[in-house]
Structure 1
């Protein structure tokens, strides 16, 4: 494994410093070695992307003091303490204060390497979550059309270019991809923003109702029409009319809609009065209306009349790099709504976010974030009967060991490090649980929130 992640290593024993540095470099880490804690502290930059490994017993500034200073600067920066046997009580106290791990000397090199690797992964996730929060805050003006991929950058650029042109727009994209969001932004970014944004789902209403909804009616126009009604088209004059699922519009209404688009006028039911409208139409379809096989009975001439500008929204599976950013936004929004704390993106959640195909697109992702905030989604998201993804190069015993370690970490995380609840969930004796922690090198200090009553040995 070529990690290349940075590690600050501090030890006043120059021989041990040299040997430990070599060990970590052979494991692929980029090591900066210091014989004095003060030198390391001065060289430590904000948002340091790696891990600090320090001896405890040192002159001038010891490891505990170094940890305290680092904690003040960045409480999420993992600090691993190396300690002689007599310093273990101090190391335990440091763990309780938030240090990532302590390793008693003499130690097996593999024990240190594994601890640094786990700490590095935790640090990577912390920094990724920070950058996602910053990106969400910086993008507030464009939310919820979030995305940093080239496709989304181009889409936003195009929206800015055409928003104020009054041109009719056809938006295509799969279910849940955000077609109404695009239509809303076209309205908000245009001079029409002071007018009404009027939305109608063409597939949700029968033909008899949709005609009245679109064109309006006068009293007595049909049975039950007791008073005048202004139609959606007229109501959107000087604003924007959004017609969702336009492929579902009844054929007879398509004929009338074509005339409206060509003449920019509307005739309500029950009257011969022709009323001019200042109209801008944004239509959305979840099928390719340019393909006769998908177009069905949708009028070709109406398609070409709408197809002045076509915007295509890519599905999530084609812009996977945007998914963590979108998830962070939806999780933050759900947390505010439900008065809960927004969850950080763990490695398990990130794996699911990037591996799932999201057939429901942004809508499905939003619901997933809400379930996670409510604690209803474990993010152990393998399909029923499907084994978790594993490195097929490993032997069967090694794969079983990895699965067991991942399961213990996941259960600890779900229970906020509470040992009693974790043991109950795993269904194993306390002594077996602690034996497995030791064998897999799992450090409880990694899982914040464990109770004082659980800080005891087997």
Structure 2
């Protein structure tokens, strides 16, 4: 496991000495010249251990220790002092220091103390990870459903979970791609190692390479210290690359090399680093179309598509709506201190009749709202959000010309369908246009164009 250590001392030579003594393949050393500088590094980096001088100008060791215990309570601190009296040592331990070392220090003694502190930090991290996994247990195990299309997903998960093959999850937004990725990790041979998720569409293009591979101090403006990337954070575990179709072409070649050779190169650092990660990628795009349009590398596509798992849209697994809704009601109801025995037949029928453009994510939001407003133990039709009913066309005969259901005006019929989906998405997102665009899988620019074309005024939509 990799570790980051922060050394704080106003003597540059001592910082360099400690950095040289502690730096190993699995340890990166950051330095700070005073307490205030140290706090800035702690805010920017994931530090596992602080080694701080006792006496420094400005914010001294005791003050820094107090601030760290207040803001980063589980971060171990080793105090150094040339004034190693029993009083100082006892005081530092009482104030929360993990241990102390006296100047001049013995390197072997330093190594032993640092090893113990890092082991302590690893135990705390493992406990945090276990608690997080318990908190996520309901979400991870919400792979609920027995429809034929979803049984194929479950069979694929069971087949691949113990392998290290790269997996490509495809499907519309909201179909549960991250939940499937977490289930594969949780039930696989890397379950006790990190699961690191990256949304490739949410990180600015200029920062994406640094985010993935890390960087060295001074590699670019704002790189005030070394930083490890997501590949190293996921070492021995699983790296989930969500929205892989949004990754810039310039970075795709480096991702390909990382997948092929399991080697990365941080920005501004010519030294290569080996990583052992299991990669699961996900996209709601058709990557073959992106390859044909020169928007995605063909070689990267085939490297990712070793084991593809397509996820069905919720409208393609209607028989799973009821068990999913009950699962969400039980989970969300328990969190709110409520118990529900189920849904009325009318409520289930209303949910089965809706098209769910936002898929499972939209269903979960719908049930969450219903659990809040429901007054009894059974969720009734009136507890469901109004947009489930508003999205049903009032008079479909107006769109057809004969008994065969052929539209009299195809453009008008398509516009009506388009308007239905957009209104439903706006209701679901409480009028937030960017979120509504994401729900139906189009860009914000395209969404704004459709609003204008269809004459939809967001501020007039009843929420």
| TM-score for both structures, normalised by structure 2 | 0.51
Tell me the distance in 2 between the aligned counterparts of 1:274 and 1:198: 21
TM-aligned CA deviation for residue 340 of structure 1: 2.7
- Give the equivalent residue in structure 1 for 2:389: 382
| Preserved contact between residue 168 and residue 280 of structure 1 (Cα < 8 Å) | yes
Q: For 2:271, what is the secondary structure of its paired residue? A: coil
Counterparts in 2 of 1:241 and 1:365: CA distance versus 1, 3 Å: same
> Aligned to 1:342, what secondary structure does the other structure show?
coil
Pairing 1:211–2:209 present: yes
Match of 2:196 among 195, 198, 205: 198
Indicate which of 193, 218, 228 corresponds to 1:230.
228
- Which deviates the most, 238-247 or 185-194? 185-194
Describe the shift of the 1:234–1:141 C-alpha distance in structure 2 as closer, same or farther (beyond 3 A).
closer
Aligned to 1:269: 267
Q: Equivalents in 2 of 1:180, 1:163: separation in Å?
A: 14
**2:194–2:238 CA contact under 8 A, matched in 1:** yes
RMSD: 2.3
Q: Write the deviation string for residues 250-304 of structure 1: whole angstroms up to 9, x where unpaired.
A: 1111111111111111111111111111121100010121234786511111111
Q: Is the 8 A contact 2:140 2:180 kept in 1?
A: no
* Counterparts of 1:232 and 1:342, CA distance in 2: 41
Contact 1:177 1:315 in 2 (8 A): yes
Aligned to 1:329: 327
Matches within 5 A, 1:77-116: none
CA change 1:251–1:142 in 2 (3 A) is closer
**Alignment map for 1:417-428 (pairs within 5 Å):** none
Q: How does 1:255-334 map to 2 (within 5 A)?
A: 255-292=253-290, 297-334=295-332
Q: 1:160 aligns to what?
A: 158
Could you tell me how far apart the structure 1 residues matched to 2:373 and 2:215 are? Answer: 49
> What count of residue pairs does the alignment treat as equivalent?
251
In structure 1, C-alpha distance between the alignment counterparts of 2:318 and 2:370, rounded to whole Å: 19
CA distance in 2, matches of 1:323, 1:285: 23
Aligned-residue offset at 1:386: 5.0
Does the residue aligned with 2:227 lie in a helix, a strand or coil?
A: coil
By how many angstroms is 1:214 displaced?
A: 0.2
In structure 1, the partner of 2:248 is 250
1:107-134 CA-to-partner distances (Å, cap 9, x unmatched) read: xxxxxxxxxxxxxxxxxxxxxxxxxxxx
Aligned to 2:45: none
Please report how far the alpha carbon of residue 384 of structure 1 lies from its aligned counterpart in structure 2 after TM superposition. 6.7
Q: For the Cα contact (< 8 Å) 1:382–1:388, is it kept in 2? A: no
Match of 2:49 in 1: none
C-alpha spacing 1:269/1:292, structure 2 compared with 1 (3 Å): closer
**TM-score scaled by structure 1?**
0.52
- How far apart are residue 342 of structure 1 and its match? 2.5
Give yes or no for contact 1:207–1:253 (8 Å, CA) kept in 2: no
Q: What residue ranges of structure 1 are gaps of 5+ in the alignment?
A: 1-138, 390-458
Q: Which runs of 5+ in 2 are unaligned?
A: 1-136, 375-381, 397-463
Aligned-residue offset at 1:315: 0.5
Q: Using a 3 Å threshold, how does the CA distance of structure 1 residues 388 and 343 change in structure 2: closer, same or farther? A: farther
Change (3 A) 1:378 1:357: same
Work out whether residues 141 and 183 of structure 2, in 8 Å CA contact, stay in contact via their aligned partners in 1: no
Partner of 1:348, secondary structure, is helix
The alignment partner of 1:223 has SS state of: coil
* 8 A contact 1:341–1:373 mirrored in 2: no
Which residue of structure 2 lines up, in the alignment, with residue 426 of structure 1? none
Cα shift at 1:152: 1.7
**Residue 289 of structure 1 contacts residue 295 of structure 1 at CA under 8 Å; is this kept in 2?**
no
Q: Quote how far apart the aligned CAs of 1:228 are.
A: 1.4
CA 1:378–1:295: 2 relative to 1, 3 Å: farther
Q: Does the C-alpha gap of structure 1 residues 170 and 333 become closer, same or farther in structure 2, counting only changes over 3 Å?
A: same
Q: Secondary structure at the match of 1:209?
A: helix
Q: CA deviation digits over 1:292-330, x for unaligned, max 9?
A: 478651111111111111000001100000110000011
* 2:140–2:179 CA contact under 8 A, matched in 1: no
Larger Rg: 1
In structure 2, distance between residues paired with 1:385 and 1:286: 26
